[in-house]
Amino acid sequence: MYSKAEMSKLKREFWIAFAEKYPRKWLLYDTKIKDFSFKFYVDNKKAAVMIDIEPKILDKRYALYEKLEGLKAILEDDYIKELVFDRDLTLETGKIISRIWIEKSVVSVSNPATWDEIFNFFNEKMIAFETFFTDFSDFLID
């Protein structure tokens, strides 16, 4: 087990190593759509690449989610297979958002032996999400 300080240091080293292996500017929050972002996630059990849809106005959140859901076949056939779609995901904080994601299990931020596997997964899946977004941004932003 790692102490809180050791785990914090390890996570910092993880993100630095990822940035060194894939030194590029990710789209993440710069989508031009309010409360619509791409995210990386990693813990001691899994890694994930996600699209989070978080408008406070429910109709706006649902409208954007439904646009993506309408493109699901294209997204899965041409960009990323085996996505999880959740229109009403409750976060640990109690906040409800819509999320589309893919995850990789049996990897861990606390196991540096799995880092390359996580980095490659992050890179491949985020590039696919960003490419999809670029290809359909006019439709999504409208």
Question: Hunting for tokens 């491949």 — which residue is that?
Answer: 124
Radius of gyration for the alpha carbons in the chain, expressed in angstroms and rounded = 16
Q: Give residue-wise pLDDT tens across range 72-109.
A: 999 999 999 999 999 999 999 999 999 999 999 999 99
pLDDT bracket for residue 141 (50, 70, 90): confident
Per-residue pLDDT, 135 = 97
The reported pTM is 0.93
pLDDT bracket for residue 25 (50, 70, 90): very high
How much is the average pLDDT of 23-29? 94
Per-residue pLDDT, 65 = 98
Backbone dihedral angles phi then psi of residue 77, each to the nearest 5 degrees: -75, -35
CB 126 within 8 A of CB 50: no
Q: Give residue-wise pLDDT tens across range 47-81.
A: 999 999 999 999 999 999 999 999 999 999 999 99
DSSP assignments along 6-68, one per residue: HHHHHHHHHHHHHHHHS-S---TT-SSSTTEEEEEEE-SSEEEEEEEE--SSHHHHHHHHHHH
Boundaries of every domain in the chain = 4-141
The pLDDT > 90 percentage for the chain reads 96
Tokens of 34: 């309010």
Average pLDDT of the chain to the nearest whole number? 96
